[in-house]
Structure 1
Amino acid sequence: MSAQAFGIMIPIVAIIFGCTIPMVAIWAKHKEKVARLQVETTAEHTAEKAAQYASQVQRLEDRVQVLERIVTDKGYDVATQIEALRDTRAHDQSDHGVPLEIARKENA
């Protein structure tokens, strides 16, 4: 290559690098912003899931406490209590479940 060709190439290379460097900086800034948004979204989703799990655990703990109370109460008639719960449910909700007495009569 001649000296004149190198003389032409230097400005061309300078222009290419002059345009490429800002484009790479913009691209890098964009990628950083996307990564930050993904982290924030993941953190929000994780916090929401943790709250849902905490709520579900609390409901389960409440149910276990009721079951423990039923099992540990001496002289407690579990079948009578279940029937009472079904009777109150039948009054609160329309036609959800069949009381044990009716089911026993039908099976007999």
Structure 2
Amino acid sequence: MSGTAMVVAIVFISVGFGVIFDMYKKHLEFKEKTLNHNSLHSEQVISMKQQIQTLEQRMQVLEKIVTDEGYDVSKEINKL
């Protein structure tokens, strides 16, 4: 192998490894962003579940109030 060919091969190998290394760094950055996004998403899901649970409890209270016989009586009184 001639000297020129060796220099060209070394340059190609160096550039190739540099490109591969940069691609690997970008891949790691993407995975980190994805993990951060997933943890944020998990926190939002937990918060929404708590809100739904609170709303369900409030709905149960409202259903008890509306189906209570005293509610019908007060409604009739208000009609008069």
Structure 1 residue aligned with 2:21: 26
Q: 2:36 aligns with which of 31, 36, 41?
A: 41
The separation in 2 between residues aligned to 1:10 and 1:70, in whole angstroms, is 89
* Cα deviation, residue 69, structure 1: 0.7
* Cα deviation, residue 46, structure 1: 1.1
Unaligned runs of 5+ in 1: 1-6, 79-108
Give the TM-score of the pair, scaled to structure 1: 0.58
Once the two structures are superposed, residues 63-95 of structure 1 have per-residue CA deviations (whole angstroms, 9 ceiling, x without a partner) of 1111111100102448xxxxxxxxxxxxxxxxx
- Aligned: 1:69 with 2:64: yes
Aligned length: 72
Q: Which has the higher contact order (CA 8 A, sep 6+)?
A: 1
The separation in 2 between residues aligned to 1:21 and 1:68, in whole angstroms, is 69
| Aligned positions of 1:1-108 closer than 5 A | 9-76=4-71, 77=74
CA-based RMSD of the aligned residues comes to: 1.8
Identity %: 31
Unaligned runs of 5+ in 2: 76-80
Q: Which has the larger share of helix?
A: 2
Give the TM-score of the pair, scaled to structure 2: 0.76
